[in-house]
Structure 1
Amino acid sequence: MRIWVDADSCPVKIREIISKAAKRVEIEALYVANRVIPVQEHDYIRKIVTSNEDQSADKYILDNIKESDIVITRDIPLADELVNEGLTVLNDRGDIYTKENIKERLSIRDFMKEARELGLGYESTNRFGPKDVQNFSNSFDKILRQKTS
C-alpha cells in the first residue's frame, strides 16, 4: 500500500499530516505534481515531478496506482476514475469518495463549472480552515487504521 497525493493544490497542513502518518506507519507517500512541491525528504516520502502537460500528474497517478493504495485529491474527475477502479480516495477536507457519492459530486462540479463559464458568477465561499484540517486528519487516520489492521 502507498499513499498518492495529487499535490498541485494540496495545502501545506495536509501534506504535513500525510508525511507524519507515512513515517509513523512506514508507508510510502508519493507527492505528484507538475512542479516542485515543498515536502520534507524522508525514506518514506517521495516527490514526483511530471511534465507541464495538462493533467500530467493525474495521468501519472492513474498509470502507477495499485488497488491497495490510497489517493488524496480534490480533482473530482480524477477521483471518479479512481473510485471506479476500486481505490480508496479522499479529498483534503476529509470527504471520502465512494461509488455511492462520486457521481453526485461530479455532477455538482460540472454544473458549477458550466455556471462560471456562462458568467453566472458562482463563487466558492468555503475557505479552507482548521475544521477542514481536523476533518481530513480524522478521515485519513480512520482509513489508515482500516488498511493497516
Structure 2
Amino acid sequence: MRIFIDGDGSPVKESTIEIALAYSINVLIVTSIDHYSMKEYPKNVSFVYVDKGADAADYKIVQLIRSGDVLVTQDYGLASLVLPKGVRVLHQLGYEYTRENIAGLLEQRYFSAKVRKSGGHTKGPKAFTQADREKFKEKLIVLLKEVNEPNEESDILK
C-alpha cells in the first residue's frame, strides 16, 4: 500500500507524511513541476513531477495508482476515476469518497459549473482550518488502522 497525494495546493501534505511515517507507509506526491521543491523529506516520501497543464497530475495518478492504495485529493473527478481500481480516496476535509457518494458529488459539481457558465455565482470553499486538519488526520488514521497497524505508539494527534 502507498499513499498518493494530489499535491498541487494540498493543505494536508505534512499531516499525511507524518501519519504515513508512523505506519511505515510510502507516500508519493504527484505535483506540477511548478511546485518543485528542494525541501528535505523523510525517506518514505517521493515525488513525481508532471508538466504544467490542467489535469496532468490527475492523469499520472490514474496511471500509477493501484488497488489497495490510498489517495488524498479534493478532486471529485479524479476520485471517480480511481475508485473502480479499488483505491480508498480521502478528501482533505476528512470525508471519504465512495462508490455510494461519488455520483451525487459529481452531479453537484456539474450543476455548479452550469450556474457559473450562465453567469451565476456559487459559493467557493471555506478557508481550511486547524479543526479541518484534525478531522482529516483522525479519518486518515482510522482508514489506515483498517488496513495496517502502526509500528509503535505515536502522538500523531497532538
Q: TM-score, normalised by structure 1?
A: 0.92
Contact in 1 for aligned 2:76/2:106 (Cα 8 Å): yes
Determine helix, strand or coil for the equivalent of 1:9.
Answer: coil
Contact in 2 for aligned 1:67/1:86 (Cα 8 Å): yes
* Residue in structure 2 matched with residue 21 of structure 1 by the alignment: 19
* Residue in structure 2 matched with residue 3 of structure 1 by the alignment: 3
Matches within 5 A, 1:1-149: 1-11=1-11, 14-34=12-32, 35-36=34-35, 38=37, 40-124=40-124, 126-149=126-149
Distance in 2 between the 1:143 and 1:31 partners?
A: 19
Alpha-carbon shift at residue 37 of structure 1 (Å)? 5.2
Where structure 2 has 5 or more consecutive residues not aligned to the other structure, the ranges are: 150-158
Contact in 2 for aligned 1:94/1:140 (Cα 8 Å): yes
Greater RCO (CA < 8 Å, at least 6 residues apart): 2
Please identify the structure whose Cα radius of gyration is greater: 2
CA 1:104–1:63 in structure 2 vs 1: closer, same or farther (change >3 Å)?
same
Where structure 1 has 5 or more consecutive residues not aligned to the other structure, the ranges are: none
Alpha-carbon shift at residue 72 of structure 1 (Å)? 0.5
Determine helix, strand or coil for the equivalent of 1:122.
Answer: coil
Alpha-carbon shift at residue 58 of structure 1 (Å)? 0.6
Contact in 2 for aligned 1:8/1:37 (Cα 8 Å): no
More displaced stretch, 47-56 vs 136-145: 47-56
Alpha-carbon shift at residue 125 of structure 1 (Å)? 5.3
Q: What amino acid maps onto 1:92 in structure 2?
A: Q
Q: What amino acid maps onto 2:21 in structure 1?
A: K
Distance in 1 between the 2:139 and 2:106 partners?
A: 21
Percent identity, aligned pairs only, is 26
Determine helix, strand or coil for the equivalent of 1:124.
Answer: coil
Alpha-carbon shift at residue 147 of structure 1 (Å)? 1.3
- Structure holding more helix per residue: 1
Contact in 1 for aligned 2:72/2:92 (Cα 8 Å): yes
CA 1:70–1:22 in structure 2 vs 1: closer, same or farther (change >3 Å)?
same
Distance in 2 between the 1:129 and 1:81 partners?
A: 28
Q: What amino acid maps onto 1:15 in structure 2?
A: K
Number of corresponding residues: 147
* Residue in structure 1 matched with residue 152 of structure 2 by the alignment: none
